[in-house]
A and B are shown apart, each in its own frame.
Chain A
Amino acid sequence: MGLGRYIRAAARSAGVVLVLGAGTGVADATHTGLGDTPRPIIVAQLGPVGNAENAVGTLIVRRADGRVDQLRGKGSLALYEGDECRTERASRAYIKLADGTQVAMNEETTFVIRSRTERAKGATRIFKMLGGEMWMKTQGPKSIEVETPVATAAIKGTEFNLQVLPDGKTVLTVIEGLVEFGTPFGTCPIPASSQSFGERGKRCTRPAKVDPAAATSWISGVVTQ
């Protein structure tokens, strides 16, 4: 078994996919003596990202291959990279990621589960949020980002609520910890018990003090832990 194949097999057993850089043994690769040792980077988990554990109403999951699964009430629906999760009107859902992070979806919310991989930093979980409202609570520092049409929230180990309005305007409420909130016009740290707005064509607003409980009252009855 060649070294590249061995690494790929080992990665599969560990539940990861590899991108191999220079010198991977690919047939058409020429050699220059530069970096001919395979250097894998993790690009995505092959196994489930987490499980949907509760749905008040219906959680609709569209897989990367186009198939659709649903969860109604309590249960365990495995979620994978590339899945699009959607709640309709009067539906809410609760998801627990493999690393213990808790996610709740309010009604009329849609996001896609993706990831970025960097050789130096490893994998970052990305929720590409198309609309609606989500709550998230991590267990310690995590590499998680939430993209909205106008802004990105990078989580530093925290609890927060993010709402995307129909015009893309994004409302971030940090309950605990710190979130790095950015638009294409600038990035700013948002501390606990504060709120910031992201709007197309503008910097995110300065953090303003708020009562975080008001922003998360909707998670009652759907978060099971």
Chain B
Amino acid sequence: MPSRLRRHVLWLMLAGLFTGCATAPPAPPPNVQNRIYIANESGNSVSVIDANTLEALKTIPLALKGAHDMALTRDGRTLFVSNLLSGELAVLDTGTYTVTATLPTGNRCHSIALTNDEKQVWVVNIGENNVSIIDVARLRVLGTIPSVGKLPGHIRFSKDGRFAYITSQEDGQLTVIDTSNHQIIKTIAVGKLPHFILPSPDGRYLWGGATGERHVYVIDMTTNTRVKTIDVGPKPQHIAFGVRGMFGPFAYVAVEDANEVVVIDARPNELKVVDRIAVGAKPSGVSASPEGGRVYVSLQGSDELAVIDTGTHRVINKVSVGLKPVGIAVSH
């Protein structure tokens, strides 16, 4: 073969190689489905558990103090973590287990919620009695809503996004904010030290626990009035909704000073306690798997995550996590 021809053949082969490289498909993003995230308040970290195998995948150190509440984007790839003692929000890439940003919000930032369009994160600053509104794309605090109540606790949005609900622990009330103009439109008395709140699966009712009393309360969000108070035991904390096969929904309430998860038939015409499950010392955070068959409970007394099977109401496993686990988030 003449040398010129050989050079041409060589160039064609090299070009083919490079073309092949250029068209190789990009590596798929890491799988972030079926994960459980636990905020460890005294461990200053987030534990990551595989929801299928219940194996610990990672403990992510935050370099901030007092990891407390979390909000996970719908795609499961970005996790926002409030850090109560630092007054800062940490932003985590769940695919790589890394902290990608930290930003100050306010004194003792407590609970957080993503707006329904996921364009903003609202952060409750318990030390300033206000809410910081953060632009998710730019990670900027765009403004605050002042005077949302004394010692504000948790925040949740109505399923249509028109209202934000914030518990006010010192006032013993729930504050309702119109999200179209950030005005407080109503306050509802709910009992001493109201803390956690969560909309029902159908979006009509808001459930909350009064940690200074023994009850959970149910608010009809169409009228913003309290429709029921249910005695569950001392210091009710977080709530999650699950199902038992064909039946449900049921509300699973962590009752901290009883070391139990109390199960309530959450159908509007029932609203009564149907079971009590001993889970371990100081249950605090509760969250359910997306299909509602498992309920995860953080145990502050033993630094564990308890797993309840909703079909049998048995604790089927306990997994070690970090020091003083509080908030739980679950990916789909």
Contacts and interface: CB of A to CB of B under 8 A. Distances in A.
A183 to B, nearest CB: 5
B44 to A, nearest CB: 10
Interface stretch (A50-58, A90-98, A103-111, A148-156): A148-156
A214 interface: no
Given A20-B63, A43-B102, A117-B102, A152 B57 contact: no
A184 B133 contact: yes
- The secondary-structure label for the interface of chain B is strand
Contacts, number: 111
A216 interface: no
Interface stretch (B135-143, B168-176, B217-225): B135-143
A34 interface: yes
B248 interface: no
Interface in A166-214: 168, 182-184, 187, 198, 200-202
How extensive is the interface on chain B, given as a class? 35 or more
A28 B58 contact: no
A184 B61 contact: no
A119 interface: yes
B101 interface: yes
A24 B133 CA distance: 31
Contact of B143 (A18, A32, A120, A200): A200
B55 to A, nearest CB: 9
Interface residues of A, number: 42
Contacts of B293: none
A34 B63 contact: no
Given A19-B102, A201-B183, A24 B61 contact: yes
A22 B96 contact: yes
A114 B102 CA distance: 11
A151 B142 contact: yes
A98 to B, nearest CB: 19
B139 A149 contact: no
Contacts of B63: 18-20, 43
B146 A168 contact: yes
A187 B133 CA distance: 13
Contacts of A117: 101-103
A41 interface: yes
9 contacts: A32-B57, A119-B100, A119-B101, A147-B140, A149-B144, A183-B142, A184-B120, A184-B143, A201-B181
